[in-house]
Amino acid sequence: MKAGEERTWPILFVLLVAMVSPTGNMFLYSFTMLSMAKEWGLTPFWASVIGFMPMAANPIGGVLLGSLSDRYGRRRILLLSIFGSAFSSALSGLSFGPYDFSLYRLLLGISLGGQWAVSMTLVSEIWQAEARGRAVGIVQTSFPVGFLYASLLAFAVPTVWGWRGLLLLGALPVIVAAPLAYYTIRESRLWMEDVTEENLEKVPYRDLFRGKLLRHTILGTSVMFIGAFGAWSVNPWIPVYLETLKIPAQRVPLFTFFIMIGALIGYSVYGFISDLVGRKLTFQMFFIGTGGTLVLFGFLPSQSWFMDEARFPLVIVLLGGSVAFFLGYFSGYGALFAELFPTRIRSRGMGFCYSLGIVGSAIGPVSTGYLSSLYGIGHAFVIASFVFLIGFILIQLFPETRGNRI
């Protein structure tokens, strides 16, 4: 494949919009959980279990759909995951009770896990090496854009619409993107040229755990777990944290929206920095940046002298926005993983590392909840910041992959 031969911006746009709905749905649930629990007579605990089921189902989607993508092609399986996201997101708002709602959430998690793995694989294979980081980063901005979309909906949609109305509106982006994806996305030429029917049968899944690929699989999964654990130790708790800081409840979604603008900037610029200075150094800078700003965000607002500042709300947004900015390291996983694994097993490798590592996003919120019950949310953030130091050390063990022709 010639450099840049299939480099088309519409593909990036469609993939971004298609992922806004499922990623935003995860965050939107933080604003709808209590209302849904009240309607169905659930305790907050069971409502949280039902709502965060997608995180538990992510590994199934990444591994299963990633494997199918290596065998049957990127386009076919990617479309399957996008349409799965569309149906599950919409059906969540139309559910009759907690049981069918749980099924829709599980389908959402499976679809999102597969959608991420195959999207990152496809973009990495059709984009030239020197610009791969920024192309992957653009698609990865679907996470902060989804968070922004969810915050804006929670703030702007009248309460009379209820939680069902919010979830239905949250599904709108993927419903629009699904038909666009069908007509825009084409099969990866690299996959068609390099992965024949004969070759596929010679590449069992266990190859991920042999030779140097074993090292890549272990390191990739570990650093994905750390990043997911750290980010989700913070993200779901930001609205609750703001309320503990005496921010009026009706203004919390708006404050969250402004904080997430920092994430959008961080996710957007990460790829450019990564293509310029390398995968390893960029990851390390963002990990250290996240840890440092998270300490400030968790510690300073608890100090009485800080609370008395006249510009307290502005400073809170700047501190929170700084943490969100450095969470832009999520934009680096797609390019890094794609450059670690060969074409014949790339989607499976990316799907495995992402799906097993993303389990950290289910453990992170629980750990913060437990620590906050003992020390308060702010101090829980400070404790969670130490995980990024471990990530900084692990990244040093990776090979530098910037510029690899895959």
Distances (CA, A) of 195 to 69, 102, 203, 211: 11, 37, 10, 21
pLDDT above 80 (res 133): no
CA gap 74, 122 in Å, rounded: 6
Return the pLDDT at 6: 46
pTM metric for this prediction: 0.75
Q: What are phi and psi of 272, to 5 degrees?
A: -65, -45
- The size of the chain, in residues, is 406
| pLDDT tens-digit readout, 267-308 | 889 888 988 888 899 999 999 999 999 999 998 887 766 665
Residue range 175-218, pLDDT digits in tens: 888 888 888 888 877 777 765 555 545 556 677 888 778 988 99
Q: Which residue has the tokens 């149906």?
A: 87
Contacts of 225 (CB under 8 A, 6+ apart): 356, 357, 358, 359, 360
Domains of the chain and any CATH numbers = 9-395 (1.20.1250.20)
Alpha helices (H) along 43-141: 44-51, 53-72, 74-93, 98-126, 132-140
Q: Which residues contact 25 (CB under 8 A, 6 or more apart)?
A: 54, 89, 92, 108, 146, 150, 167, 170, 171
Per the listing, tokens 């130490």 go with 386
Cβ neighbours of 302 (radius 10 Å): 15
